Structure 1
Amino acid sequence: MSVPAELRTQSLTYRTGPGGKTLVDDVSLHAEPGETVGLVGPNGSGKTTLLRCVYGTLAPTGGRVLLDGADLAAGSAKDRARRIATVPQDGHTGFELTVGQIVAMGRSPHKRFWEADTARDAALVDEALARVGAADLAHRTFAGLSGGERQRALVARALVQQPGVLVLDEPTNHLDIRYQLEILALVRDLGTTNLLALHDLNLAAYYCDRLYVLDGGRLVASGAPKEVLTSKLLAEVYGVTAEVAVHPATGAPTVTYLPPTAPRLPPST
C-alpha cells in the first residue's frame, strides 16, 4: 500500500482573478508523514479552497504545494493523483454503480485510459474495502448505502490510489454521531498523512495531531489542539463565548458553547 508523505504549503495564495477576491492568503502549513492535521475556521474562511489547491482542482495564484519536498506544479495531474487522494465534501458519485466498481475507479491514475482492470487491481480493491471495514459492501449499489457506508466506500476508493496524502473535506458532513466517530477513527488509523477540514471543534481536538485555524483566508493560529483551542481564539475567530477544558477521559480539550446571554437560574429553595 501507500507510504505516507510529508506535505507542505508555502505561502499558498488563491485569488479569483485580477482585482478579484483573495480566498486563501499566504498560508503555510505542514503535515509530517503519518500525521492527521485539521483545518478549522468559520464558514467562508478558505478551508475548502485551500484543500482544492492542495489536491489540484484549483491552481494556486501564489505559493507552492510540496510533497516530500517536490513541487507538485512541476508534474502532471495524473502524477498528483498518484500521490494525493481526496474524499470530497458532497460525496455524490456514480449511484448506479456497485461499491466495488466505484472503489476500482481509484486505480485510474495508475492506468492508461484503455487498460482493463487486472488481478492486481482487484486485489487492491478487496484490500481497501477490507481495511475500511466494508468488504461486505462490494456488490451493493452505491445508491443503497447509508451515509456512513458511502464515506467508507469513498475512503476505500482513495486508498486504492495508493496515495502518500489523503485530503478530506468535511468527511463527517451529514453523518450521525456514531458514523462521525467511526469515520474519523478510521482515517486516523490508516497510517496515511491526512489533511482534513472539520467544523466540529471537539472532533478536531480529539482526532487531529495539530490544527490550523483560518479566518478570512489567512492563517491565524496553529499548533496542538490544546494550544490552539482557547476561549480567546473562539471569541475572536468565531464570535462566540465558550469554555474550554481538558476532558478527564480523553485528555483532549473540550469546547462548551455558551449562549450570548446566559439564562438566569432560579434561586434554590
Structure 2
Amino acid sequence: MSKIISVWSYKDGWGSSTILSLLTKLISSETDSKILCIDMQSRYSTLSSYIGDDIKEETNIDGLLSIAEVKPIDDNILKHYIQKSSIRNVNLIAGSRISKSNSLERIVPSDKNILDNLVNKFKEKYDFIIIDLPSGVDNQTSKYFFGVSDFIISVLNQDRIHLTNLSGDINNNRINKEKLIGVLNYYDDSLSLTDSFIKKELSIKIIIALPYLSKIKETANEDILIDINDKDILDYFKPILMKIIDNFDELPKESKDKAKKSKFNIFKKLRNQI
C-alpha cells in the first residue's frame, strides 16, 4: 500500500523543496494518510526549514544512516530520528547541514541491503514516504531512490539544454519514464517550449504546468511557506495527487473515481484492511 515519492531536479534552486512541501500539505489536508518526509538535501536542508517544527539538527538523516551501517534499525532508534513537522500527520527526518556528503554515498555501492531494510521499515509505518533528493543524476542517493520510488516528480525548466539532457537520461534508462511526473515550475506560456511540446519531446505520460505565483515565492524566501493555507494555491497541486491516485493498484476504479470527485479520504480504511 505504501508509496515512495521522490522529488528531484537537475539543478538547485528550481523549487523541488517548495513543491514537495506544498504537495505534502495537500496530501495531509485531503487524506487520512500517514506521511514521512525525508530531507536528503545535505547542503541546504531547505525542506527541514519549510516544514520543521523545532528541529533537532543533531538527529538527522546522516546520523540515522551511520547507525544503519553498523546495526539493524529498530523502533527505538527510529523514534529518536523521526521528528514532528508543522503539518498534520506528517513526520520528518531532517537533513544534515553539517555533512557535505550523505552516508548514502557510501552505503549504496557497498551494501544496498542496508537501505532496502531501512526503506521497508518506513513502509511498515507510513502510507507515503516523500523524499527531497539532491539535484543531479550522478550521486548515489538519486540513483538508489530512482530505483525504489513509485513516482519521481521531476521539476523541469523551460530550457532546451536541460530537456535534451533529461531526454538522454530517460532514453538511457537512468530514469524510468513510467514513474516520471514532470512539473514545469514557474511556467511561462509565452515561451516556445510549451507544456504540450515538452510532454511530446520527453514521451512521458504527464506534464503539470505550475504558473509563477508571487505568494509562494515570497513565503518560500522567508521560510514561512508552511503558512500557506490558500485553497486555490493548493489546488494547483491536485493534478499530481490525482496521478498518484491513478497508480494505486490496490484501489478499485470506483474508489479512484470517488476520490477524485470529493476528498481523498480513502487511505485510512485501506491501511486497516491490508
The TM-score range, normalised by the shorter chain, is 0.3 to 0.5
Higher helix share: 2
Bigger radius of gyration:
1
